[in-house]
Amino acid sequence: MSKRSLENHLFRRNHNIEPLSWDIRLKIVIGAARGLAFVHTPETQVRYRVFKASNILLDGNYNAKISYFALGKFGPSGGYSHVTTRVTGTYGYAAPEYIATGHLYIKIDVYDFGVVLLEMLTGLRALDTERPSGQQNLVEWLKPSLSSKRKLKSIMDIRMEGQYSTKAALQVGQLTLKCLESDPKSRPAMKEVVEELEGLEAIKEKP
């Protein structure tokens, strides 16, 4: 995967790496969402558990492949059935119910995907101890800004300025909020996430 990982492009300020445009970011998250939707099918029933930007690999055309299934778990059939495991994940990504119980529901991956969407919008890491107190956990800091057009505009990655429509950004913000719902049953299935993102890709409204 010649472009390495999404993490490499979003967070490393390297003059040899071009900033990702809005269209490319959308293409990447759609590809990653399709991958998660595939492993969540009733035939597969895999809980990915460690979904994050460093595990989204990119080929030369920015086609995304999700990697690192070492910690994935096969689960029983049924959307809300769970596997009990030792809590393993990355702080800043892991869903609150997984940290609290160790129960590995399929909607935990949806929460992780919401964190990646927030990183994509802001260009900031899910967890950064070098940020000021109160801003180190990205979800806790910026989740409240996703529901307001004015606040959302202020947190968007400046490297994408002028590349996206307000309508598209707001829709991604709303989808991110759905994925980050505290109640896992309120989060959408990955199939629904894919459909919403594919609809966004069709928006050609000029910024």
CATH code 3.40.50.300 for 4-70+86-201: no
pLDDT band of 68, cuts 50, 70, 90: low
- Residue 133, phi-psi category: left (phi > 0), alpha (psi -120 to 50), beta (remainder): beta
Residue 205 vs residue 136, higher pLDDT: 136
pLDDT band of 45, cuts 50, 70, 90: low
Polymer length of the chain: 207
Write out pLDDT tens, residues 111-123. 999 999 999 999 9
CA atoms lying within 13 Å on the CB side of residue 157: 22
* pLDDT exceeds cutoff 80 at 205: no
Q: Where are the beta strands (DSSP E) in the chain?
A: 4-5, 46-47, 56-58, 64-66, 73-74, 83-84, 103-104
Sign of CA dihedral 172, 151, 5, 160: positive
What DSSP element (H or E) covers 12? none
pLDDT band of 207, cuts 50, 70, 90: low
Which amino acid, residue 191? K
Residue 67 vs residue 31, higher pLDDT: 31
Contact 120, 19 (CB under 8 A): no
* Interatomic CA distance for residues 178 and 159, integer angstroms: 25
133 C-beta neighbours (distance < 10 Å), count:
6
Say which residue the tokens 């778990």 belong to: 73
pLDDT band of 74, cuts 50, 70, 90: very low
Supply the DSSP symbol for 20: P
Domain boundaries, the chain: 4-70+86-201
Say which residue the tokens 């300025």 belong to: 161
Write out pLDDT tens, residues 173-201. 999 999 999 999 999 999 999 999 999 87
* pLDDT exceeds cutoff 70 at 23: yes
Contact 19, 41 (CB under 8 A): no
Write out pLDDT tens, residues 142-169. 999 998 999 999 999 999 999 999 999 9
